[in-house]
Amino acid sequence: MRTVLISGAGIAGLSLAYWLTEHGFSTTVVERAPGLRSGGQAIDIRGTAREVVRRMGLMEQIRAHHTGTHGIAILDEQGGTVARMGSDDYGDSGGIVAEIEILRGDLVKILHGALDPAVEFLFDDTITALTEHDNGVDVTFGHAGQRTFDIVVGADGLRSGVRDLVFDAEVRDLGYYTSYFPARMDHDFRGWELMYSVPRRAALIYPLGDSGEVRAMFAFSGPEVPGARHDPKALLAKVFDGVGWKIPGLVEQMWRTDDLFFDRAAEVLLAEWWRGRVVLLGDSAFGGSVGMGTSMALVGAYVLAGELSGNSHERAFAQYQSEMREYVAVNRKRPPGGANGFLPRTRRGIWLRNQFMRLLPHLPGRKRMMGGIEKSANAITLKPYTRSASPA
């Protein structure tokens, strides 16, 4: 039985652990955090990724945890609605907001609950060194000493430690910061996510049903700020100081939470996703999409495990990238305007974007324009990999 070490207990890592176990591998997951990460934003499951979760038998559970959001409402500076885009306006994959949306933490719990008890977890630990030889990879952990595995998978996100140890990758800066945190908000959402913008800054608020609980996303553009990750709350409070509507109340709640995600938006540029016995999955390999990271992680885990089930690691890794290459490429294409489209620099830019969003649902070619999302989300056909013991 071949042994696989997965770095990262997020969506990519847990999904891969599920499929590897189905194919007869012995699987260990190492995670930097002391336990599963429960926080995070609402995430979409689109296109072919839905078939993956169906094959896992998890669709019913996932639908039961739907956030209840069915579209996005664009607000003006006074908080009035100027445009709405519903999840059922542009085809099966739902345009900007997918028909299946779930909190990241809920999906992580569902995936973890689906795992075979034989999957080993090493929480509160990291990989500090990797040394490959003919019989495997010697892995040195921060706390667990040294062990040898046949294969090592870096599923540890955009800032992947495994990638830094083994690969020479470019991580391209996209010009803005994002943050997420839980909050409460007194507003009649009626299932609409809200987007509020001022020049170079935006807040997106995801309601969780009618509970009053929300997930708030703060984003802002500009050059990198030295030391930003050391005190992100202070930086966010400074950037959003003086912004109106309900932003001051959200900033106040941000100060009180211990559950804050903060990072600089970036994309990974990497010619090959593997080197020797080490391979990358999810954001560590192809991070930088808009709204497709979860779906690509789910599909990538299915494909990688399936290819490993019937091949040597050399052939499996090459086949994995070959199968995923076009799917990843079309889903990493960024919307026109890049950061300026999401975070316009001027009030006039915000007005022009809002007018386009207001008119889009009424344009004759709206489904064709937005249909590219659906087409991209389905731009891969899943092989029917046989669930059997892995080759020696």
Residue 31: inside a domain: yes
Residue 388 has pLDDT above 60, yes or no: no
The helix, strand and coil proportions of the chain, stated in percent and rounded to the nearest 5, come to 35, 25, 40
**C-alpha Rg value of the chain to the nearest Å:** 21
Residue 275: inside a domain: yes
pLDDT, one tens digit per residue, over 209-223 is 888 899 999 999 999
Are the beta carbons of 175 and 224 closer than 8 angstroms?
no
Question: Going along 41-162, which residue ranges are E strands?
Answer: 42-44, 71-75, 81-86, 101-103, 120-123, 127-133, 136-141, 146-149, 151-154
Distance CA 292, CA 289 (A): 6
- DSSP class of residue 227 equals T
Residue 258: inside a domain: no
- DSSP class of residue 282 equals T
Are the beta carbons of 239 and 251 closer than 8 angstroms?
no
pLDDT, one tens digit per residue, over 242-251 is 999 999 999 9
Residue 344, classified by CB atoms within 10 Å of its CB into exposed (0-12), middle (13-18) or buried (19+), is buried
Residue 84: inside a domain: no
**124's tokens:** 């509160």
Distance CA 166, CA 76 (A): 47
Residue 373: inside a domain: no
pLDDT band at 127 (very low <50, low <70, confident <90, very high): very high
Residue 184: inside a domain: no
- When divided into structural domains, the chain yields a total of 1
Question: Going along the chain, which residue ranges are E strands?
Answer: 3-7, 26-31, 42-44, 71-75, 81-86, 101-103, 120-123, 127-133, 136-141, 146-149, 151-154, 170-184, 192-198, 201-207, 213-221, 261-269, 274-275, 278-280
pLDDT, one tens digit per residue, over 303-321 is 999 999 989 999 999 999 9
Q: Give me the pLDDT at residue 69, please.
A: 85
Return the CATH number at 26. 3.50.50.60
Residue 186: inside a domain: no
pLDDT band at 340 (very low <50, low <70, confident <90, very high): confident
Minimal CA–CA distance to 48: which of 272, 283, 326, 266? Answer: 326
Are the beta carbons of 183 and 75 closer than 8 angstroms?
no
Q: Give me the pLDDT at residue 86, please.
A: 76
Residue 29: inside a domain: yes
Q: Give me the pLDDT at residue 94, please.
A: 45
Residues of the domain holding 52: 3-65+104-171+266-334
Distance CA 14, CA 114 (A): 9
pLDDT band at 92 (very low <50, low <70, confident <90, very high): very low
The mean pLDDT of the chain is: 90
pLDDT, one tens digit per residue, over 228-241 is 999 999 999 999 99
H or E stretch covering 307: helix 293-310
Which residue's structure tokens are 């306006």? 89
pLDDT, one tens digit per residue, over 139-159 is 999 999 999 999 999 999 999
Residue 390 has pLDDT above 60, yes or no: no
pLDDT, one tens digit per residue, over 33-82 is 999 988 778 888 999 999 999 999 999 999 999 888 888 999 998 899 99
Q: Give me the pLDDT at residue 211, please.
A: 85
Distance CA 138, CA 294 (A): 30
Which residue's structure tokens are 């429960």? 38
